[in-house]
Amino acid sequence: MKTLIISDIHGSIDRLNDVLNTPLPYDRILLVGDLMYHGPRNPILADYNPKAVSDRLNQLTCPIIAVRGNCDSEVDQMLCQFSIMQDYTVTEWNNLTLMVTHGHLFEPDIEGPRHGVDLFISGHTHVPVLKKIDHTTIYNPGSIALPKENHPNTYGYLDDRVLTTYTLNHDVYMQAVID
């Protein structure tokens, strides 16, 4: 299975379309929170259109797994035809155990190894991270809309055990094999 990993959209319809129009094939999408609202600390983007973001996501026919970010609300859930209100999820894909959370409630470097998962995915910081602690790969795809610390806009892609962070130009930014 090939999975798009998208975090911190913050209502940016143009950046969402950039990612969804990737030349990479994908079978499912993992949304790591902060889908529609820009948040009080972030600027309002020129392409800010939360309704268009929810409409675009609702049009997708592939499975979507989503977790709640600190900027997501019950009103946002009313617009989505898939669940976005879980604080975290633990699942198995391709013989990998994944824990996914936005990152505002759980510290990735502590919770990933504590739970003994193969891959711990979070967002929230808008900074891409790909590292290993003990037997757990800690991953943050960065933000497609509001990157921080001079990183480009980025998203993630999981193909079997190869985890890649791409820029919106679809250039490889980070990559690792999860063992």
Alpha-carbon distance of 46 to 5, in angstroms, equals 23
Tell me what pLDDT residue 42 has.
82
The position carrying tokens 């820009």 is: 38
CATH numeric code, 2-177: 3.60.21.10
| Residue 36 Rama label (left phi>0; alpha psi -120 to 50; beta) | alpha
List pLDDT tens digits, range 8-20: 999 999 999 999 9
Confidence at 164, pLDDT banded by 50, 70, 90 = very high
Tell me what pLDDT residue 38 has.
81
Alpha-carbon distance of 140 to 126, in angstroms, equals 8
Domain residue ranges of the chain, discontinuous segments joined by +? 2-177
pLDDT at residue 91 is higher than 90? yes
Question: pLDDT averaged over the chain?
Answer: 95
The end-to-end CA distance of the chain, in Å, is 17
Alpha-carbon distance of 28 to 31, in angstroms, equals 10
Confidence at 39, pLDDT banded by 50, 70, 90 = confident
User: 136 - beta bridge partners?
Assistant: 133
List pLDDT tens digits, range 93-142: 889 999 999 999 998 999 889 999 999 999 999 999 999 999 999 999 99
Model pTM above 0.75: yes
